[in-house]
Structure 1
């Protein structure tokens, strides 16, 4: 078995070589913090070729465990809200609910947070505690507050942090509410995705401070936003690019679809935009989410053909699309025309030259979140 310190330095070299690790202070933190200590409970690996996806545990006694801990990979640590690797002998086919984020993304975000000595940081989503430990090493325990919604996850993270000599302020609660008892903060960083940046994070950040968060949607395109907080209670900034993806904050997960409406009872027309174009273009899908922020997508078979269904459970609006030769047809129903709105927004973005997401701007006020791009 290879030496953990050797593996840590090898990870430092890979992250620095990939451009993720850019400053000496964070380089020192990655070299010092043993990631494997935050994975002592094991992790899940995907079973190759399984459909639906199956997961099996990898425990510390496995010969592959230690080196996998220092790979630049995200490692699933909880499934179905409660199941951890030590609970299982065999395989499980449920959705992951907690993970140790890939180190390259962790340090890229910490670099993008623009932390300086003396800054007080609020972390939303403690997870295994690895990123929390990196911040403790960089800033000191007293300047790090981390909120985790799952008490068991927080407890395991606290034990791992303590074993490594770190004692930050750990809070069990709804991360969307922040933690006002230790506000104001100079920096807020979220390791979960959100549909909209919560106003509480803005309120709890000092003017001139930074909020770093991944803005997502139920069509599963997401982007990392860095916002500067202003003295009037608003915040604004830009997206940093990179197609970053996180599990959604639990209160922002999509609702169950329930009983579908009658998808034959609607208005039918040729589609200008096909759903395959969204599947192939991450930014186009991100723009589509701005038009239909509460739409979910499913596939179903109808009369022997595969249809793509977009449905907003809350409003009851829906659109279903199917291919006819080289073209697509769309049928829509409910109180709004989802696909009309998607086509209009994506068409406007393309007419403006399809700017990269790094040129998009985001502004958050007490009343709304607005995302725009430069027009021609």
Structure 2
């Protein structure tokens, strides 16, 4: 066997030993699909220098490139929406915008999707095309539709898929709108985070279909949800746990903060919840349910640190600081962000802080509710 075949088999065995790769069809897919073919353009690795994270390119002629392609890690393939590894010499200080998801998460999601022979699958977020190829290997090209918002990313994925002998239906467009021309689907899987499950996805599925998506917010705590579509056009399910994180769908990226509000305005009171509580993933997720479009920044102001949450569109904000051991919050705008967050976290704590995998999700055409049961 060639080196990459050995690496594919080793990857499949590792994922199987960890209980993530559970069924023969997906084991066959992992052993058959060459991940490195989807990384021919190289990838970025983080620099270990102190300070903000910088990224440097790793190209196919770099020692260890092939082995890294089969390591269980996510590999950044695009920076700042347009910059690819071949464009950089040295390092870059910008935000990643596309990546090849770590194989363990890819196969976990595909196993959770419970695909069967004959199912029509819509994938939202083609990315490099690796997970698309795995799905094609499982059910056949004709049953797979994949939507990617970035035409450059989609083009590279198309080339890699073709080189591997896979020819699914690839669409360039907003995956949040689905792809009605290929509907109805039996399964929808999103490889990006979403603030809400779009109604278009539900409308484009059959009754009994499964939607797998990562629910997120602008406080950046996110969880994988598996939802089943009912005959009445609603979707219900549970969070699956595991602190799953994906880049947000580009149309749902948070807006620029712009000019900050006058933090001397508003109403001030003692805070019942410290902003440091949001450092905990589960607490932050619960807080985010109350304020999904609030962004969080830290400021040095008047010689003290302030924690600012701001919902740009709503014009609401909350600023917290520590005053001799007591947390104080000042809030402004039409809504009281911190009041809503404190109430939700207090209820969750009062119910015994149930884990996120105990949370139930219900999606209708006009609303999303996430609830939990007391322990």
TM-score, normalised to structure 2's length?
0.98
Residue in 1 aligned with 2:357?
A: 358
Alpha-carbon distance in structure 2 between the residues aligned to 1:49 and 1:284: 31
- The alpha-carbon deviation at position 130 of structure 1 amounts to 0.2
- The alpha-carbon deviation at position 375 of structure 1 amounts to 4.0
CA 1:323–1:48: 2 relative to 1, 3 Å = same
- The alpha-carbon deviation at position 231 of structure 1 amounts to 1.0
**Can you give the 5+ residue segments of structure 2 that lack an aligned partner in the other structure?**
none
Cα RMSD, aligned residues only? 1.0
Residue in 1 aligned with 2:328?
A: 329
Residue in 2 aligned with 1:45?
A: 45
Alpha-carbon distance in structure 2 between the residues aligned to 1:240 and 1:232: 24
1:310-363 alpha-carbon deviations (Å, 9 max, x no partner):
011011111111123443111111111111110000000111111111111111
Alpha-carbon distance in structure 2 between the residues aligned to 1:295 and 1:18: 37
1:286-319 alpha-carbon deviations (Å, 9 max, x no partner):
1101111111000000111111100110111111
Alpha-carbon distance in structure 1 between the residues aligned to 2:49 and 2:19: 32
CA 1:326–1:14: 2 relative to 1, 3 Å = farther
Matching of residues 145-294 of structure 1 within 5 Å: 145-279=145-279, 281-294=280-293
Secondary structure of the residue that 2:327 maps to in structure 1?
Answer: strand
Alpha-carbon distance in structure 2 between the residues aligned to 1:51 and 1:316: 32
Alpha-carbon distance in structure 2 between the residues aligned to 1:359 and 1:208: 22
1:67-86 alpha-carbon deviations (Å, 9 max, x no partner):
11000000000001000001
Alpha-carbon distance in structure 1 between the residues aligned to 2:15 and 2:106: 10
Secondary structure of the residue that 2:155 maps to in structure 1?
Answer: helix
CA 1:371–1:347: 2 relative to 1, 3 Å = same
- The alpha-carbon deviation at position 167 of structure 1 amounts to 0.5
Residue in 2 aligned with 1:7?
A: 7
- The alpha-carbon deviation at position 50 of structure 1 amounts to 4.1
Alpha-carbon distance in structure 2 between the residues aligned to 1:322 and 1:17: 48
Secondary structure of the residue that 1:44 maps to in structure 2?
Answer: strand
Secondary structure of the residue that 1:370 maps to in structure 2?
Answer: strand
Residue in 1 aligned with 2:93?
A: 93
- The alpha-carbon deviation at position 18 of structure 1 amounts to 1.6
- The alpha-carbon deviation at position 212 of structure 1 amounts to 0.3
1:42-90 alpha-carbon deviations (Å, 9 max, x no partner):
0000011342211110000001211110000000000010000011111
Secondary structure of the residue that 1:77 maps to in structure 2?
Answer: strand
Alpha-carbon distance in structure 1 between the residues aligned to 2:216 and 2:267: 30
Deviates more, 1:9-18 or 1:28-37: 9-18
Residue in 1 aligned with 2:32?
A: 32
Residue in 1 aligned with 2:313?
A: 314
1:209-258 alpha-carbon deviations (Å, 9 max, x no partner):
10000000000000000000011111111110001000000111101100
Alpha-carbon distance in structure 1 between the residues aligned to 2:143 and 2:102: 24
Alpha-carbon distance in structure 1 between the residues aligned to 2:322 and 2:77: 40
Residue in 2 aligned with 1:74?
A: 74
In the alignment of these two chains, the number of paired residues is: 374
Alpha-carbon distance in structure 2 between the residues aligned to 1:50 and 1:139: 46
Secondary structure of the residue that 2:49 maps to in structure 1?
Answer: coil
Alpha-carbon distance in structure 2 between the residues aligned to 1:223 and 1:167: 31
Alpha-carbon distance in structure 1 between the residues aligned to 2:114 and 2:329: 46
**Can you give the 5+ residue segments of structure 1 that lack an aligned partner in the other structure?**
none
Alpha-carbon distance in structure 1 between the residues aligned to 2:333 and 2:121: 45
Alpha-carbon distance in structure 2 between the residues aligned to 1:29 and 1:102: 15
TM-score, normalised to structure 1's length?
0.98
